[in-house]
Every structure is written in C-alpha cells, then in structure tokens.
C-alpha cells in the first residue's frame, strides 16, 4: 500500500509539474517544451525522498539487511556471482535502450507530426503495460516458489493461469481502445491532427500490444527459470536484426508512416516471443524443479515469497521511463526474484549444475 500511494502521488504531482513548468502559473509564462523533462526530474526527486523517508527513516528496513561496508563485499567469489547476474541483465537493458534510441531517431526524418504521434502512442503503451505487468511479476514469483519446492506441475499451472489472465486483460483493453481511442489519445495531445493520426494507427497498435503482452509473460517465465541469457539472445536478434532495420525500411523507405513504426515493433516482439516459446518448449520441467529444489536455501519459503513481493512493491516506486518504444519497456526484462538469484548462484561452474534448458 505505501508503494501504491507513493506511485499515485508522484504521478499526480508529475501532471501538476508538467502543467506548471510548461505553461506556467500565476503570471509566470513557463519554460515551454523543456519544462516537461524538468518536471519529470522534479517528480523523481520527490519520489526518491518519499521512498527514503518511508523505508529508511520511518520503517528502518535497511537495518535488518545492511551491515555496512566490509572487504568481504568485494571478494573474488562474490564479484564473480554478481557479474554472472548483472552482465546478462545489464547487456539486455543496453540492447533495449540502444535499439529504441536508434529506432526513435528515425521518426524525426518524417517530421514533427509523426514524431509526436509516435511519442503519444508510446505513452499510452506504457500505461497499458502497467495494467498487466503486475500479473507477469506475480507469475514469476509463484513459479519461482513452486520450482523451489520441486513441483513442476504447479509451476506450469501458474504459467497457464498467468497467460489466461494476461490475455483476458488484453481482451478487456480491446473493448476500451477502439470506441474511446480519440479520448485516450486526447489525454496526451489536444492537437486534432496528432489525435487523428494516432487513431488511424490503432489496429496495428493493438496487435503490437497483444504480441508484447505474450512476450512479457514469457520473459517472466524464463527469469523464473533463471534463463536470462535466452532473453538477451532474443533481445539482440529481434532488436538489431528485425526491429531497428524495419523501423527505417517500413516508415521511411516504403513510406508507411506511423503504421510502419508499429508494424516493425510488432514483428520485433513476435520474433522475441517465438524465441522464448522455443526456449520454454526445450525446458525439462522435472529437471528444472529438481535443480531449483536442490539449489534453494533451506529457509522458510513463505518468508522468501514475502521478500520477493516486497521487492516487486519497491520496484513500483521507480519512476516510469520516458516515452520510448515498446521494445524497451521495462516489462521486457523483469528483475530476477531473490529465489531465482539464489538458484543462479548454483549455476556457476563451481556448482556444476546440469542445465535444464537443452539448446
């Protein structure tokens, strides 16, 4: 609840800051376009202040886990484990940001209307993604728990349940998008030209959302299985071999305009989803469950799950990233849960675990 309150408060504050910094108030004329990023920065500082105040000053959550800096923190073994986790996840994030930046730059070649429309649609995509990201995160946590207990059937059942919920949410969103698309896009822009351009591209936009939601769930599944390397592979192939080239060819070379950007996004998401589907099909669930059970620490699984849920709540406090391509949405590479990280520790050469993903 505190995380939800903080996020909602910061979101409302960001709206106020944008209005004031861009258009001014009480006789002040504002800063114009530059006021928008400044408003986001100001909101982020307020959010950080609220987070630190609640978690450290009021609750003192850090006292149980933080013992201060020691030389043990940088021992060779600890650094190796940290790098084994950080490099694949960090590299995947770099791929996301770099490809989104390159593809987003292409929209500038088609004029301000296309660039603005693309930004508006990315803004709506970010809001829609937030509606289902919680289900993907919950699926990842519950799968990690059941795998840690050695129950492969329960983990698969959670995956099927999560897929059903995500697709159900997608169907509900469809019934909201089509009849109210102009009202939704009007939240981001009062320019009738921009709103109409976004409305004309609604079909391919919705298809991209459906494909992306499936891929988000598959990404969470692979993270629960401690297979972030496959996520990195899928990101590289789909982003640089499909998404970025098509973001130039379709809208600029073939003159498909705004639709071309979202078709490129859709195809990129589809390739990622297919690679992850292949990865899921290669998993020996019984072996994966056995390895997870052997690797899990002998602790209270209920306590572990509570810690994972608290981690997800804290991640909700992070200010949403700026307007960018769905290819770089943070749902793409969800952080591993603590349970998955402990299993990853046993994936080092020293432990000599047998991989459950046969490639």
pLDDT digits (tens, 9 = 90+) for 160-176: 888 888 888 888 888 88
Whether residue 218 has pLDDT greater than 80: yes
Q: Are residues 15 and 99 in the same domain?
A: no
Evaluate whether residue 160 is within a structural domain: yes
Q: Are residues 110 and 259 in the same domain?
A: yes
Number of domains in the chain: 2
Q: Are residues 327 and 218 in the same domain?
A: yes
Please give the Cα distance from 166 to 239 (Å, whole number): 24
**For residues 284 and 291, which has the higher predicted lDDT (pLDDT)?**
284
pLDDT digits (tens, 9 = 90+) for 82-128: 888 788 777 767 776 787 788 888 888 888 899 888 888 888 887 78
pLDDT of residue 2: 74
At residue 283, φ and ψ (nearest 5 deg) are -75, 130
pLDDT digits (tens, 9 = 90+) for 232-249: 788 889 888 999 999 999
Evaluate whether residue 352 is within a structural domain: no
Q: Are residues 185 and 331 in the same domain?
A: yes
Please give the Cα distance from 120 to 176 (Å, whole number): 17
Angle at 291 between CA 289 and CA 297, to 5 degrees: 100
Q: Are residues 62 and 171 in the same domain?
A: no
Evaluate whether residue 351 is within a structural domain: no
pLDDT of residue 300: 53
Q: Are residues 27 and 136 in the same domain?
A: no
pLDDT band at 296, cuts 50/70/90? low
**For residues 73 and 163, which has the higher predicted lDDT (pLDDT)?**
163
Evaluate whether residue 210 is within a structural domain: yes
51: tokens are 């987070």
The domain boundary residue, chosen from 37, 68, 99: 68
Angle at 215 between CA 161 and CA 222, to 5 degrees: 75
Q: Are residues 147 and 114 in the same domain?
A: yes
Evaluate whether residue 355 is within a structural domain: no
pLDDT of residue 320: 44
**For residues 130 and 60, which has the higher predicted lDDT (pLDDT)?**
60
Q: Enter the pTM of the model.
A: 0.69
Q: Are residues 4 and 131 in the same domain?
A: no
Asked if 158 contacts 142 with a C-beta cutoff of 8 angstroms, the reply is: yes
The domain boundary residue, chosen from 68, 91, 119: 68
Q: Are residues 107 and 175 in the same domain?
A: yes
- CA distances to 33, 40, 43, 219, 247 from 28, rounded to whole Å, are 15, 19, 20, 47, 40
- Percent of the chain scoring above 70 in pLDDT: 81
- Percent of the chain scoring above 90 in pLDDT: 17
Q: Are residues 29 and 136 in the same domain?
A: no
Q: Are residues 54 and 169 in the same domain?
A: no
Q: Range of 288's domain?
A: 75-345
Evaluate whether residue 350 is within a structural domain: no
pLDDT band at 1, cuts 50/70/90? low
Contacts of residue 173, Cβ cutoff 8 Å, sequence gap at least 6:
128, 131, 206, 209
pLDDT digits (tens, 9 = 90+) for 311-350: 554 454 444 444 333 344 433 344 444 334 343 334 333 3
pLDDT of residue 347: 39
Evaluate whether residue 139 is within a structural domain: yes
Among 25-39, 244-258, 286-300, the range with the most confident prediction by mean pLDDT is: 244-258
Mean pLDDT within 48-61: 88
The domain boundary residue, chosen from 34, 49, 68: 68
Element containing residue 179 per DSSP (H, E): helix 152-186
Q: Are residues 42 and 182 in the same domain?
A: no
Average pLDDT, the chain: 78
pLDDT digits (tens, 9 = 90+) for 126-155: 778 777 777 777 888 888 888 888 888 888
Asked if 232 contacts 152 with a C-beta cutoff of 8 angstroms, the reply is: no
Whether residue 27 has pLDDT greater than 60: yes
């Amino acid at each position: 609840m505190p995380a939800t309150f903080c996020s909602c408060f910061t979101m409302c504050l960001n709206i106020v800051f944008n209005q004031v910094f861009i258009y001014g108030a009480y006789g002040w004329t504002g800063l114009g376009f530059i006021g928008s990023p400044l408003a986001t920065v100001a909101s982020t500082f307020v959010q950080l202040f609220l987070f630190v105040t609640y978690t450290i000053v009021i609750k003192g959550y850090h006292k149980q886990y933080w013992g201060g800096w020691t030389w043990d923190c940088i021992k060779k073994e600890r650094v190796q484990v940290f790098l084994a986790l950080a490099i694949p996840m960090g590299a995947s994030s770099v791929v996301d940001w770099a490809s989104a930046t390159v593809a987003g730059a292409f929209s500038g070649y088609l004029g301000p209307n296309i660039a603005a429309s693309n930004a508006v649609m990315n803004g709506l995509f970010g809001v829609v993604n937030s509606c289902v990201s919680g289900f993907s995160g919950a699926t990842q946590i519950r799968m990690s728990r059941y795998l840690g207990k050695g129950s492969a059937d329960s983990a698969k059942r959670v995956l099927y349940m999560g897929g059903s919920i995500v697709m159900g949410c997608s169907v509900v969103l469809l019934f909201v998008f089509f009849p109210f698309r102009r009202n939704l896009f009007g939240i981001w822009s009062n320019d009738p030209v921009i709103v109409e351009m976004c409305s004309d591209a609604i079909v391919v936009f919705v298809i991209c959302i459906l494909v992306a939601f499936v891929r988000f769930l598959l990404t969470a599944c692979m993270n629960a299985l401690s297979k972030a390397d496959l996520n990195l592979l899928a990101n590289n192939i789909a982003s640089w071999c499909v998404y970025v080239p098509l973001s130039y060819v379709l809208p600029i070379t073939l003159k498909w305009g705004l639709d071309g950007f979202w078709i490129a996004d859709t195809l990129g998401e589809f390739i990622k989803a297919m690679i992850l589907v292949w990865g899921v099909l290669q998993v020996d669930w019984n072996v994966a469950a056995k390895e997870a059970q052997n690797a899990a620490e002998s602790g209270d699984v209920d306590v572990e799950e509570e810690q994972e849920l608290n981690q997800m709540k804290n991640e909700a406090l992070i200010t949403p990233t700026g307007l960018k391509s769905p290819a770089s949405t943070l749902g793409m590479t969800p952080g591993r849960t603590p349970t998955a990280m402990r299993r990853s520790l046993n994936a080092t050469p020293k432990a000599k675990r047998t991989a459950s993903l046969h490639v």
